[in-house]
Amino acid sequence: MVLSLSIPERLTRARADLRMGVPVVLCGAEGAALVAAVETLDATRLADLRGFGAPVLAITARRAETLKARAYDGDLARIVPPADAGLDWLRSVADPADDLRTPMKGPLQSLREGAPDLARAALALAKSAHLLPAALLVPVQDALALAGANGLTLLTLDEIAPALVALPPLDEVVSARVPLVASSAGRVHVFRPDDGGEEHYAIEIGRPDRARPVLARLHSACFTGDVLGSLKCDCGPQLRAALAQMGEEGAGVLLYLNQEGRGIGLANKMRAYSLQDQGFDTVEANHRLGFEDDERDFRIGAEILRKLGFSSVRLLTNNPKKLAMMEGCGLHVTERVPLKVGETAENRAYLATKAAKSGHLL
């Protein structure tokens, strides 16, 4: 039927449901489960979910490490909540905000038996919805009837597994001339993924020769640094310096990718900032939240460059991993162009952590 939803469309709907606190139904070879994001779950829905059976709390191995919980499934842990565990208990396990005040959350009982596939998919959905990576799963029977009777989104693992890791097709929506401080010859291109996700932008300076390596910058959106002038990072100065250098050279392209907070979203980035105020560095903060050091997908940048007609770049970056990522995506990097600007007393420790733990050349 032409009006039926595609797999990417159903995934997008599921992410929106989780952000609203609405459960979704996941089905796999080992059974099915009602899934809810802990961050948006309320007490009424928690009681409703318990009516179907005993829940299991899925957290990432990073978060489990902080909580000293056993991650028998490798990349995640399935925790059995106490019978009387309420919303406050679940959130205290999911959110590290009060870890220093109440460091002992357990003892936490981790499941060894059973397949973790549903839990793994639930965490992937929560992450991609920019929620804390913690999900409550309740095993259910007759998933199709349950989803139909309650208007819930139903997803099967064999259908969504490829889409969870695939790069959604990107299409250019529009471009227009935008005179900039860095160059009066500026043009902004808007690219939109077909799964309804965030749009990404390419700022073209001058008329770069497609037959030669273009001076390029992959810049991840940073609301606090780019817009507010935050002193906690060097993002704003890097953005302006990159555009200025392209203006001086007469040509270049800056990709503005909507992957705030290294891909974890602004809310989680603010949670990481709060943890930094407690004494943790930027990498430690991400891990305590349950994320990896960097959750960004640089395939997006490579795809946009290809769609703009570029096959080789001079990459403005201090991060050698970006060079490897671009090469791995089929973009030839002829030169790494350093971009060392924006150090302040407030971000000196942050930059030192990027150099020591993430390999940035500062």
Rounded Cα distance between 167 and 259, Å, is 14
Whether 294 is a known active-site residue: answer yes
Helix or strand holding residue 187 (H, E): strand 186-193
Closest CA to 276 of 265, 260, 287: 287
Q: How many residues does the structure list for the chain?
A: 362
The answer to whether 17 and 129 are in contact (CB under 8 A) is no
Amino acid (one-letter) located at 356: A
C-alpha distance from residue 82 to each of 54, 57, 211, 298 (Å): 10, 11, 63, 40
The catalytically annotated residue of 15, 70, 296, 297 is 296
C-alpha distance from residue 198 to each of 37, 114, 121, 238, 258 (Å): 21, 35, 21, 22, 6
Whether 91 is a known active-site residue: answer no
Query: Taking CA 296 as the corner, what is the angle to CA 347 and CA 216, rounded to the nearest 5 degrees?
Result: 80
Phi, psi at 52, each rounded to 5°? -90, -15
- Number of Cβ within a 10 Å radius of residue 176: 9
Rounded Cα distance between 52 and 54, Å, is 7
The residues, any chain, with a CB within 8 Å of residue 44's CB and separated by 6 or more, are: none
The catalytically annotated residue of 294, 299, 336, 348 is 294
Looking at the DSSP bridge assignments, the partners of residue 27 are 32, 156
Catalytic residue set:
294, 296
